[in-house]
Structure 1
Amino acid sequence: MDAARLSPPRRMTVPIDNRWGAGEMSVLDFGDPKRPVDLIFCHANGFNAATYRSILAPLASSLRILAPDLRGHGNSTMPARIEGRRGWQDHRDDLIALLDTLDGPPVVMAGHSMGATSSILATAERPAKVSQVVAFEPVIWKRWMTTAFNLPLVGGLAVHFPLVKTALRRRARFDSREQALKAYRGRGAFKGWSDIMLVDYLSSGLVEEGDGFVLTAAPAWEASNYSTQGHDPWRAMKVSGRPVRILKGETGSTCLVQPAPRGLPLVSVEVVANTTHMLPMLRPDIVRDALFDAAV
């Protein structure tokens, strides 16, 4: 078996200094470091890059992949400032900074949920750096809802989303990683996850503090990501001039883009049978195939 597949990803850091606050973005680097980057994969809200290791590692024998920890997640140190926040422009700008470090050919931008949407937003700002986008369950509301979220009174209603309330109630501290594994296994959003993926998530999802472990993605920050929806992925898909392939779950999808969306000839939408918003965890084979097809 190829050594690239067997060896663990390298962890690198990228300095980030923008209007949202300076720090270091932690990035997992899969594959041959001598080749240009082929693909950037961005995680969902509340997760981290390591969560997708078992999906991405088998591709490392053919591709070089960067998987960043987004602001407020994993091992990245950029400040997660909630006050005055309206959307995911901070995640967009952090990904722009990552793209600007690359000097090779255009890369594939990809991701899950918030990471998928943020990839679409970043691509619109740096289209020359990106060949196409592969988005798994991107969070995209109806066009009129996106407009409404930018209105002061309507935008404020997002704090009442069930996901926001659930995030704020999330347990943030555990006595051990084993206790967290037991608490998550087969429950809630983690239903259907393999133990390997769950252990990978906890490897960067928990950090030792005092006599226990705390979540690296604080519940208040996770809730903020759910409630701040003032960004516009519809505009981003229109102006980027890059193909966007969307794969969405059959039930409980957060992507309200329909097949052949009006005015977006470069956007394709596929529904994956027997999946939910956790499509990558339930069908990693389909995710790997889509990423490989886009990058080769």
Structure 2
Amino acid sequence: MDALALSAPRRLTVPVDNRWGGGEMAVLDFGDPKRPVDLVFAHANGFNAWTYRALLQPLSGALRIWAPDLRGHGRTRLPVRLEGRRGWRDHRDDLIALLDAVDGPPVALAGHSIGGTSGLMAAAERPERVSRLLLLDPVIWRREMVLMMNLPLVGRLAERNPIVAGTRRRRALFDSREQALAGYRGRGAFKGWPDMMLADYLVDGLRETDQGLELTCAPDWEASNYAAQAHNPWRALRRYPGAIRILKAGTGSLCAVPVTAAGARRVETVAGGGHLFPMTHADVARDALLELAV
């Protein structure tokens, strides 16, 4: 493999200034910096771009990839506002700012979970900047659920969701990375993860503080992303004119878009894969990313 493909991604920042508050979005830049960006990849809730290093780096011999840390995650320094937050329009608008900052031709856009949903909504607003989409088990509830979540008082009910409550109780401080690794290995959402990918998550998933190592995605913010569902990805699916491929988890999928056989809107199921299949079935996700961007 080319030495460039084996080299670590470069770190860069992109300024963001929108109604949700300004600052800098941290981005990992994989591949040849002399070529235009081919692919933008957005991560899932609670994680960060470095979590997907083992997925993306093998592609960097053929592609240039930008992988941002979303607001409230990793090394991105953008303010988070919990009060009155109802949906993911902040993540959408941050990705729009990133797309506007990319020089060169339109890019392929891919994302996992919240990253896929937010990327879809950003592409619907900037179709001239996105050539095609790959969504890895994006969070797209049934249409009736989306309508219900947009009702004025439903946001209060979302706070009572057991997943939201459990996330708020998530441990946020560790004495060492080794302690965190041992605590996560084989448990909960991390079940079935390769050790390398789990260690990569912790690279930018923890930061040093006077009290110890702290999660860069605060439990309250991660919980807010679970609770804030008053956005409409179905509208974005209708509006985006380009090709879309969706890979749904074989078990426990959070995507209600029905499977289709072919055409510009392909929806397929990853057999044996759960919602976090990009971690446990990285070869499937990697092949789809390569097909998307070449």
* TM-score over 0.5 (shorter chain): yes
> Does 1:113 pair with 2:116?
no
1:156 offset after TM fit, Å? 2.4
> Does 1:277 pair with 2:285?
no
Matched residue, 1:125 = 125
| TM-score (structure 1 length as normaliser) | 0.97
| Partner AA of 2:170 in structure 1 | R
| Partner AA of 1:272 in structure 2 | V
1:217 offset after TM fit, Å? 0.2
Query: Is 1:248–1:279's contact at 8 Å kept on the other side of the alignment?
Result: no
> Does 1:43 pair with 2:43?
yes
1:152 offset after TM fit, Å? 1.3
Query: Is 1:148–1:155's contact at 8 Å kept on the other side of the alignment?
Result: no
Query: Is 2:37–2:103's contact at 8 Å kept on the other side of the alignment?
Result: no
1:266 offset after TM fit, Å? 3.8
1:139-198: per-residue Cα shift (whole Å, max 9, x none)?
000011111111012232211222211211100000111100000000000000011000
Query: Is 1:27–1:68's contact at 8 Å kept on the other side of the alignment?
Result: yes
Query: Is 1:37–1:65's contact at 8 Å kept on the other side of the alignment?
Result: yes
Matched residue, 2:149 = 149
How many angstroms apart in 1 are the aligned matches of 2:214 and 2:135?
A: 30
| Partner AA of 2:105 in structure 1 | P
CA-based RMSD:
1.3
1:202 offset after TM fit, Å? 0.2
Structure 1 residue runs of 5 or longer lacking an equivalent are none
Identity %: 62
Matched residue, 1:250 = 250
> Does 1:289 pair with 2:287?
yes
Structure 2 residue runs of 5 or longer lacking an equivalent are none
C-alpha distance 155-268 of structure 1, shift in aligned 2 (>3 A): farther
Matched residue, 1:66 = 66
Matched residue, 1:184 = 184
Query: Is 1:133–1:244's contact at 8 Å kept on the other side of the alignment?
Result: yes
1:42-96: per-residue Cα shift (whole Å, max 9, x none)?
0000000000000000000000000000000000000011111110000000000
1:211 offset after TM fit, Å? 4.3
| TM-score (structure 2 length as normaliser) | 0.98
Matched residue, 2:89 = 89
| Partner AA of 1:257 in structure 2 | V
| Partner AA of 2:276 in structure 1 | M
Matched residue, 1:34 = 34
Number of equivalenced pairs: 294
Moved more, 161-170 or 281-290: 161-170
Matched residue, 2:18 = 18
1:278 offset after TM fit, Å? 0.7
Query: Is 1:13–1:27's contact at 8 Å kept on the other side of the alignment?
Result: yes
How many angstroms apart in 1 are the aligned matches of 2:251 and 2:55?
A: 22
1:285 offset after TM fit, Å? 0.5
